[in-house]
Amino acid sequence: MENISFFIPAYNCADTIIESVNSIIETNFKIGDELIIVNDCSTDETGETLKDLKKKYPEIILIAHNRNKGGAAARNTAVDNAKHELLFCLDADNVLAPNSIKPLKEYLIGCNADVASFQYQHFFTSDKLKPDYIWTLPDGEFDRGMYLTDGNTPGQHGNYLFTKQSWVNARGYAEGTGALDTWTFGLRQAITGAKAVILKDTYYYHRLDHQNSYWMRDAEANLWSVSMKATLALYPFFDRIDEKYLDYMLGKGRYSWFHSRGKKPIKLVTAESKKKFYTNLQQKTVKRIYPKLTVIDRAINKIKRMIFTK
């Protein structure tokens, strides 16, 4: 795992992606790495900007969707075309700190982890060196249980290093989930046992743009749909979710469970216990659909067989 496949999902980001690409290539890119940029059918000048970047950096691999498919699909397209086991996703409006990737990669390998994240996210509006506020993750091995509540997780920002195998295990990014694509991907990695580590005293720069933010225009503008999109992302893993919690997700909490995780965390169960549940359910269903015949019913059937077989 010496080299990294960096990738950027790009949609209407002509004003920011140059800085993002430069932050990868100038100090964080080494010989043998690759940078894949997927243009998700942008309607601004992103396409022309990417062509100019390709001229400057021939090592860039450009892929274009012929229709807008969303962030998750753009990320999956990039990973599908990546040749390395290690992957780093950088959003098209965010910026890496100089020389920040090498220690992150060494930490992931040294810890035999599947995911490695920076400890801090410096949120900025205009000057990345003057953050508006900072998000913090606890250093060391990350508690996967944090994904089950409303705590801060690597998936909430989505800009981290991970292995392709963890992407395969998680069945990729959940398409159709809008701005929840990275959070749900992180949760799916956690459910499938991915070991995540947080490298102490490291950071990247996360741009704030409420007017054009993917989260603001997709999730905040349609709060009622957030829980339903998260449920869609978890559908392949219903066999790991407690049955009573599933009833809540699909019933009373279908529009609100995502925002209620602080008071009512997601409850997981082992695959073995869920298998027992389904086995018992199968037996109950068989008994209900094919009830055992009474003595009288069996006697009548015997008489019928005797009459019609003569």
Distance CA 310, CA 277 (A): 47
Q: What's residue 302's pLDDT?
A: 73
pLDDT 10s digits, 175-212: 999 889 999 999 999 999 999 999 999 999 999 986 66
Q: Which H or E element spans position 280?
A: helix 271-289
Percentage of the chain modeled with pLDDT above 90: 79
Q: Tell me the whole-structure pTM to 2 decimals.
A: 0.88
pLDDT above 70: residue 308 = no
Q: Indicate the SS3 state at residue 215.
A: helix
pLDDT above 70: residue 216 = no
Percentage of the chain modeled with pLDDT above 70: 95
pLDDT above 70: residue 270 = yes
Distance CA 272, CA 257 (A): 25
Average pLDDT value over all residues in the chain:
92
Distance CA 179, CA 168 (A): 21
Quick count: other Cβ atoms within 10 Å of Cβ 298?
11
Distance CA 9, CA 217 (A): 17
pLDDT above 90: residue 57 = yes
Q: Is 279 exposed, middle or buried (0-12, 13-18, 19+ CB in 10 A)?
A: exposed
Q: What's residue 204's pLDDT?
A: 98
Of 229, 221, 217, give the one whose Cα is nearest residue 183: 229
Q: What's residue 294's pLDDT?
A: 76
Q: What's residue 6's pLDDT?
A: 98
Distance CA 255, CA 117 (A): 30
Where do the domains of the chain lie, and which CATH numbers do they carry?
4-214 (3.90.550.10), 271-308 (no CATH)
Q: What's residue 215's pLDDT?
A: 63
Higher model confidence: residue 309 or residue 100? 100
Going by the DSSP 8-state scheme, the letter that residue 13 receives in this structure is -
Cβ atoms of residues 88 and 161 within 8 Å: yes
Backbone phi and psi for residue 266, each to the nearest 5 degrees, phi listed first = -60, 135
Annotate 134-160 with b (16+ C-beta within 10 A) or e (fewer).
ebebeeeebebebbbeeeebbbbbbbb
Once rounded to an integer, what is the mean pLDDT over residues 242-266? 95
Q: Is 37 exposed, middle or buried (0-12, 13-18, 19+ CB in 10 A)?
A: buried
pLDDT above 80: residue 310 = no
